[in-house]
Structure 1
């Protein structure tokens, strides 16, 4: 939906004179009412005000984009107003707003208002374009400026049909990271942007937390010149049989997109050869991959499938304690009231899947679908046998390689027995052997090791735990969601299962510091950053408070020597303080949304603020002011 198609000349006022935010909204609603797009003016006005109560839509830079989604809206539309003298709209940057766009979206329009909001926010980031709109001599010129800018950014409408060559896309790509939240989409955006710069057509499939999006079709794969796979988990590979395929880690998709695209079109990419089964593989037969890399990908495949059970179940368990009454029976705290018992039972059920799912999907990553059941059983036996998280890890790898061994052994069987292998031979023999292996070989020593570790952690003095918190907090900030970060997070998850709730608290606070420290620095030390970086810094407030460490990646990739040490020191301090204050956390994720579940929340907030401020200060000292950055008078920090 184009912006220009939603704007009605009747709903544009280039000489607005509101003296307050309420008057601005009132006038914009009146303008919208003149278009006939709304059936109930008052209902729509309330929808706009309700949205405004959730947070100001004054996005800064002199722009406000209020919006309302309501049954009172018959047809989607836009109203616009220019206030040449500006008016206060509670904007995020505290500055007056000069340009106003009101979005009206019907209830059944899905996320239409978000799409329009995204387009408007993007084109209005151009300061020169904003000035053209503010100074537009008449409505006709105002519409013309918007039409030209939208075409410049998104192309003409007719170009949408002709943009793709008859042959199809030159390059196809797949991105995937263990959590499917940040790296997946950052790699996709980087590849798309670099391809556009190089004049290359590309389509990127994302294997994110919400499932596969923008899925590649067989016809597109057939016509593509090359395939790029940037993934830290396994993706479905048999569809690429016979095609030139590059496979690398997801971080390369973010940082080395241009090089990957150039390599893909260089004519020297190995041809992927499938084993002939409908499998999910991590590498082509012609690609040399290190043992460590292969182990990491198999492990992350298990972790990525496990996380929804851990996060969902863990938070429900934590909520059970939040809503329960300790005084009823301290011995059964968490299940004393019916509602708390319901939450606890549901959470425990989800959480119980953690180790079987981890082991099952590690095994499947190695030995394909026949290994899934074998891994599940191995993980469950590790869980019930006392070897816990470490036992489940070993069970997953053992089950995967066990099934690979069985496949080789059964290659000697007649082809007529091929159909009974996956439904009879692999599950029966695989489960039997893994059962014996876990019960008699893995569980006894690993269970003893777990018992020793629990006793040791319980016996740690406050100083020893502070050191542990410092190490874990620092690890969360070293590679911003990479292997070291995931190792610390995985250790925190394992500790939850053994009742070490202080460890999870230190892990989460360490992961929150990097984006928060960067966001604070872009706010209070603006002259250290470009305009684009300052805009990205605002997003890091949300990502940091939500415990999404990956928000720091763009800054770390641009300036790792300064950003990573600053973030790591602040995160290590926060982790150590969390341990020092005796903070605990029953939930494995959630950021500020699970702060009510934190033991000693006051101390936890102190640790969070201290770590963030230290990271901000160190980053400001290390980066120094930029001579190439122009900061407006209202933005200059009095140093």
Structure 2
């Protein structure tokens, strides 16, 4: 199938009227919908924005390839748009984009369609071809250019395998949809390797499956392996090799740097993958190792926070602030920190941090270390230390016992790691870590309880802003975790500011789409209504699609409003003992009217900023 069977005259816009990223997406989606290629315009746009929220599809060199594979597509298609003057699409190279290709792949698209869509990305790597597209006079000339380009005999740029000790680089490329970045990264790496005289083989993990797969012989001979992927790929096969792991965009933009690193073996030795599919290296790539371990703990702790928190809120609702009465006591016993879900917060946090570092053998020492911390009132800080301590202790034990005879391999996970891991972690926690951390926690609790005036307002402002700046990302989670820690310390004012800040972004979106209709598309106005519920429920992520479409205006507006809400909450000395629930736990707030007022002020400010700042939809 040829590209021009998917790219037709009725899906070509030779001169885009859009002036920003959001408007480009709207214009291309509208073109596809008008050409009867979509089942649902709103659903398709939502899928496009979801892909943009993962990483920009503005790949640089003046090209943007927004794409999605969804049931909202009636017929696979390519929509082309051109802007001679260029449009800011937040591209990887920071330069304006001129050529836009919106790829629409249906949920059940066959391999022929997907291979054709993927081939488009390889053609665009040719600078001369891109220049021809920019200079095309009309739709007919544009389509002829694609036909002529496809009829050219493709040159094989992959270098033959080397002889002797010459460097041999392997690469794997993959992106979430597998119809654009996957193949562009592969072609970029092969082209640069040919230029540098480096032997390379590239495996693509695209929507049609694995192509040019790496063999056991390839891996054994490889100098190093580059994994440029934004989704999970098979990694266990690379154990014992130097592996460079980067986003797929780096495989397009930073090819020379990656290849030079590979040749010099400037990369950690890959140890293997754990059962949950997460990779573990002996070194940290870009300083992200500690962050990944921490997020593994936090993400696994959150279900306990949400589930237990809602039950605690129900207990307070039915039994008052002391949770008195049979039903309230039942809910508290299931969700609370005495016998229920909240009892496990710190142990689970520590256990999953440790297992992220040292795999399953680290989990038990981490859990016990976390429990010791919680039992001694060392709190979340003690749990964090316990998790990292247990993980690295077990890692050390693995190295220590690596020289034992093969016959003893079976007793390591069932005897040596558990006993020595628990013993060392427990002794260090009890004798070294817990006493100073408890003292530090007492100081922190005293500081929080003594906060008043400007200091309290400033803390609320910062926490509110953190909740909005990445809307469910690591900064948001850090603020949320701090609020939970404050609840554990019996300070209920801090988390009220956290929750207020987290509720503002979706509520602001809902208000903006309601009162500034001309600034949003019809699809955005419809989806904006759901943000009333999401905001009221303390689900900050409801604002993400809007932030992805127009990040500067939306995120800045939301950060301002959320910081105001957090600051007002601390100014009014509002307390909230429930960790989750939004307005549905308003009965537990000591000053419910002022709390609602704080949230609404923040949401209104954000909505007004968006309404004034955003441009009208054409």
TM range (shorter): 0.5 to 0.7
How much has 1:504 moved relative to structure 2? 1.2
How much has 1:530 moved relative to structure 2? 4.7
- 1:192 aligned to 2:188? no
1:578·1:604 contact (CA, 8 Å) conserved in 2?
Answer: yes
2:242·2:270 contact (CA, 8 Å) conserved in 1?
Answer: no
Among 304, 325, 330, which residue is 1:342 paired with?
A: 330
How much has 1:506 moved relative to structure 2? 0.8
Among 470, 490, 515, which residue is 2:461 paired with?
A: 470
Other structure's SS at 1:499 match: coil
Among 363, 366, 378, which residue is 1:375 paired with?
A: 366
- 1:301 aligned to 2:296? yes
Other structure's SS at 1:584 match: coil
- 1:355 aligned to 2:351? no
Distance 1:500 1:223, change over 3 A: farther
- 1:417 aligned to 2:408? yes
When structure 1 is superposed on structure 2, of 189-198 and 391-400 the one drifting more is 189-198
Other structure's SS at 1:604 match: helix
Other structure's SS at 2:177 match: helix
Distance 1:596 1:495, change over 3 A: same
Supply the distance in 2 between the matched residues of 1:428 and 1:311 (Cα, whole angstroms). 33
Residue of structure 2 equivalent to 1:314: 309
2:461·2:566 contact (CA, 8 Å) conserved in 1?
Answer: yes
Alignment of 1:119-268 (within 5 A): 122=42, 150-151=74-75, 160=110, 191-192=176-177, 195=180, 229-230=229-230, 237-238=235-236, 247=245
Residue of structure 2 equivalent to 1:366: 357
Supply the distance in 2 between the matched residues of 1:394 and 1:515 (Cα, whole angstroms). 35
Distance 1:344 1:125, change over 3 A: closer
Distance 1:506 1:227, change over 3 A: same
TM-score normalised by L of structure 2: 0.61
1:236·1:280 contact (CA, 8 Å) conserved in 2?
Answer: no
Supply the distance in 2 between the matched residues of 1:538 and 1:194 (Cα, whole angstroms). 32
Among 380, 383, 391, which residue is 1:400 paired with?
A: 391
How much has 1:471 moved relative to structure 2? 1.5
Q: Please list every run of 5 or more consecutive structure 2 residues that lacks an aligned counterpart in the other structure.
A: 1-37, 47-71, 78-103, 122-173, 187-204, 215-225
Distance 1:267 1:388, change over 3 A: closer
TM-score normalised by L of structure 1: 0.59
Supply the distance in 1 between the matched residues of 2:356 and 2:43 (Cα, whole angstroms). 43
- 1:451 aligned to 2:442? yes
How much has 1:341 moved relative to structure 2? 1.0
Task: Encode CA deviations 1:207-254: one digit per residue, 9 max, x unaligned.
Answer: xxxxxxxxx99x9568768976548xx999537769998745xxx7xx
Other structure's SS at 2:597 match: helix
Residue of structure 2 equivalent to 1:519: 510
Q: Please list every run of 5 or more consecutive structure 1 residues that lacks an aligned counterpart in the other structure.
A: 1-117, 127-147, 172-188, 202-215, 327-332, 631-639
Supply the distance in 2 between the matched residues of 1:589 and 1:380 (Cα, whole angstroms). 23
When structure 1 is superposed on structure 2, of 352-361 and 155-164 the one drifting more is 155-164
Supply the distance in 2 between the matched residues of 1:164 and 1:455 (Cα, whole angstroms). 61
Other structure's SS at 2:271 match: coil
Distance 1:156 1:243, change over 3 A: farther
- 1:290 aligned to 2:275? no
- 1:577 aligned to 2:557? no
What's the C-alpha RMSD, in Å, of the aligned pairs? 4.4
Distance 1:505 1:228, change over 3 A: farther
1:322·1:596 contact (CA, 8 Å) conserved in 2?
Answer: yes
Task: Encode CA deviations 1:292-311: one digit per residue, 9 max, x unaligned.
Answer: x1111100000011111111
